[in-house]
Amino acid sequence: MTRRLLQGSEAVAEAAIASGCRFFSGYPMLPFTELLESMAKKLPAAGGVCISAESEIEAVNMALGAAATGARAATGSCGQGLALMQEAIAESALNELPLVVFNMARGQQDYFQATRGGGWGDYRTITLAPKDVPEAVAHTQLLFDLADRHRTPALLYGDYVIAHTSVGIEVAPLAFPPLPEKDWALDGTMSGTGRARQIWTWARGKPNTPGPGPNLAWQAIADKYAEIERTEARCEAEGTDDAEVVVVSFGTTAVFVDRVVEELRAEGVRIGSFRPVTLWPFPGAALAEATEGCRLVLVYELNAGQMVDDVRIHAADRSAVRSIGGVSQDASGMRQGDLLAADELRQRVRRALADGPAARSAR
Amino acid sequence: MLFTGVGGQGVQIAARTLATAAMDEGRHVMLVPRYGGGMRGGMTNAEVTVGDRPLRALPVATDCWSAYAMDPSYWSTVRPHLRPGAVVVVNASLVDVEVGVEGATVFSVEAGAIADGLGAPMAAGFVLLGAYASLTGLVGVETLVGAMRQLVPPYRTQHLEANERALRAGAAAVTPLAAPAWAAGDLERAGR
């Protein structure tokens, strides 16, 4: 295979299909639209189905239904559409259905929406936040594996830059360990046959084969998420061994952090970078280790301060944590604004270094 | 390089054609389009980064070497990201604003008028792209034609011939390599 010039959305679509995704539904919304278009172009040829739904609510519930039959199914939108999908994402968690959701977010980095969600119940969503298109291709394949392995909704946190950037890339299928049989999948067997299966949030089962009921089922799901939290956290740390200052960021912003940290290290500043690759589970233990002995932990995110909460929870010294990001929208409201720039970030880091640890941020 | 224009002028396909051609010549490329929710008449910009090694460029270009301007409406969003002495190729048929970049070398090409003369007013963006490629030698005109042919979708093949004439007419309207993008040796290695 050779490199081809692929837009991020197109590359993610090919990665999803290479992962065995055979059902995709969505409602067009910039910058998610190109992923839906790519799936519509490519999925039928792979024997799959792509449906342009009438709303995000319809799209996510179609994908949920497809997942219940054991198909690898996915949907997506931007943050505004994900807001509408929250109920079905929570149902996917409580029904233990693997569902992959692509969030091609606009300019706002909504960490809370990705990691807390707005559904009910003790549920979580595994969330991978790639920093660029090649990583988005790898993460897409990993998400389908994690969703099946843990029978849970799993999110890709992409954005305008990842969805739209074209690079020369080869979409190579990744190998994963074998997965358990989907012996829970609905296969169309009707009631009255004695073999019909049921997927139900309350898990009460059928009259002749009672289920565990909500208390035991929901505790088991909570235990499963506790186990995922222990085993699936992923992160990337650079130069943190000797660092006095660590900059924490996720997704596209991390590419800018890496550049600025590299420049400042070359100037002799003892600075490092830390990037949660999984937003949930948050790599808290690794962050505690990476920030050990740091006088400053700077959080750069394009919002008014969301991930900074998790950084405060896990940093070795929470009083060292400072937010240096902010709301940053371009005029269209569709993509990141002026803060997504190495110059602006460098100035903010320098200002924080000059202020020193005694100065506290407003938050 | 930075591309700017308004939706409907073919700025996105022009940028993609250039990026595809550069890749076809063995370069490493990154293309970042920028547009909002509107399609016709709204801002449509793009950034193309080309290198002969794997790119380290950030996906927000600053300090850019050159610009391609089909329309002046959103020039103000491009101008601050050009370095002093930038090479600016403008569609003289529409662009009448001051470029406003210190020491810029400006090439004015009557892209709209040339496309009209070819009976293909919709191909003005390709006229300007042909001129850009010829002026800079960033990619060869033949590779550009090949890239355009790859990118035009099957339901638009009736435009292939006009697009090709537009690319060639743009290239013919300017002095080749008046603002070379590569050192002479690079061009020989690319087989041109």
- Chain A residue numbers touching B35 (CB-CB < 8 A): 332
Nearest-angstrom CA–CA distance, A162 and A336? 12
| pLDDT confidence tier of residue A64, bands split at 50, 70 and 90 | very high
ipTM of the complex: 0.89
Mean pLDDT of B163-186: 92
User: Helix, strand, or coil here: A157?
Assistant: strand
pLDDT in tens, B20-48: 999 999 999 999 998 877 667 889 999 99
What's the CATH code, domain A4-169? Answer: 3.40.50.970
Q: Higher-confidence residue: A91 or A190?
A: A91
Nearest-angstrom CA–CA distance, B119 and A188? 60
- Cβ separation B29–A168 shorter than 8 A: yes
CATH architecture of structural domain B2-191: 3-Layer(aba) Sandwich (3.40)
DSSP line for B29-84: EEEEEEE-S--SSSEEEEEEEEESS-----SS--SEEEEEES-STTHHHHGGGEEE
Residue A356, pLDDT > 90, answer no
Give the Cβ contact number of residue A303 at 10 Å: 18
Give the Cβ contact number of residue A74 at 10 Å: 33
Does the CB of A269 have a partner CB in chain B at under 8 Å?
no
DSSP line for A211-264: --HHHHHHHHHHHHHHHHHHH---EEEES-TT-SEEEE--TTHHHHHHHHHHHH
Residue A270, pLDDT > 80, answer yes
pLDDT at residue A208, rounded to an integer: 83
Mutate to test the interface with A, among B28, B34, B56 (most CBs of A within 10 A): B34
Mean pLDDT of A161-187: 95
Residues spanned by CATH 3.40.50.970 within chain A? 4-169
Mutate to test the interface with A, among B6, B18, B23 (most CBs of A within 10 A): B23
pLDDT at residue A207, rounded to an integer: 83
CB-CB: which of A164, A252, A259 is closest to B33?
A164
Does the CB of A259 have a partner CB in chain B at under 8 Å?
yes
> How close does chain B come to A112, measured CA to CA in Å?
25
The CA-based angle A32-A163-A252, given to 5 degrees, is 125
pLDDT at residue A363, rounded to an integer: 43
Mutate to test the interface with B, among A167, A261, A339 (most CBs of B within 10 A): A167
Residue A172, pLDDT > 60, answer yes
Nearest-angstrom CA–CA distance, B77 and B118? 31
- Cβ separation B35–A132 shorter than 8 A: no
* pLDDT more than 90, % of chain A: 91
Omega cis (within 30) before A180: no
> How close does chain A come to B67, measured CA to CA in Å?
18
**Closest chain B residue to A339 measured between Cα atoms?**
B60
Run of H or E residues at B86:
strand B82-91
**Which residue ranges make up each domain of chain B?**
2-191
Q: CA dihedral defined by A146, A147, A151, A153, rounded to 10 degrees? A: 130
On whether the CB atoms of residues B114 and B125 are closer than 8 A, the answer is no
pLDDT at residue B188, rounded to an integer: 61
Residue A358, pLDDT > 70, answer no
pLDDT at residue A141, rounded to an integer: 98
Mean pLDDT of A257-282: 97
User: Which residue carries 């033949």 as its tokens?
Assistant: B142
The CA-based angle A141-A144-A147, given to 5 degrees, is 145
The token pair at B17 is: 């054609």
pLDDT at residue A333, rounded to an integer: 83
Nearest-angstrom CA–CA distance, A316 and A292? 5
Does the CB of A165 have a partner CB in chain B at under 8 Å?
yes
What's the CATH code, domain A235-355? Answer: 3.40.50.920
- Cβ separation A30–B33 shorter than 8 A: no
On whether the CB atoms of residues A22 and A46 are closer than 8 A, the answer is yes
Q: Chain-centre distance of CA B167, in angstroms?
A: 11
- Cβ separation A165–B58 shorter than 8 A: no
CB-CB: which of A3, A256, A335 is closest to B34?
A335
Q: End-to-end CA distance of chain B, in Å?
A: 21
Residues spanned by CATH 3.40.50.920 within chain A? 235-355
Average pLDDT, chain B: 93
Residue A89, pLDDT > 70, answer yes
- Cβ separation B29–A343 shorter than 8 A: no
**Closest chain A residue to B60 measured between Cα atoms?**
A341
- Cβ separation A342–B62 shorter than 8 A: yes
Mean pLDDT of B97-104: 91
Q: Which of A155, A152, A153, A150 is nearest to A179 (CA)?
A: A150
Mutate to test the interface with A, among B12, B16, B31 (most CBs of A within 10 A): B31
pLDDT at residue B190, rounded to an integer: 59
* pLDDT more than 90, % of chain B: 81
Beta bridge partners of A299: A248, A323
Phi, psi values for residue A316, rounded to 5°: -60, -40
Give the Cβ contact number of residue A297 at 10 Å: 27
> How close does chain B come to A167, measured CA to CA in Å?
5
0.90 exceeded by the pTM?
yes
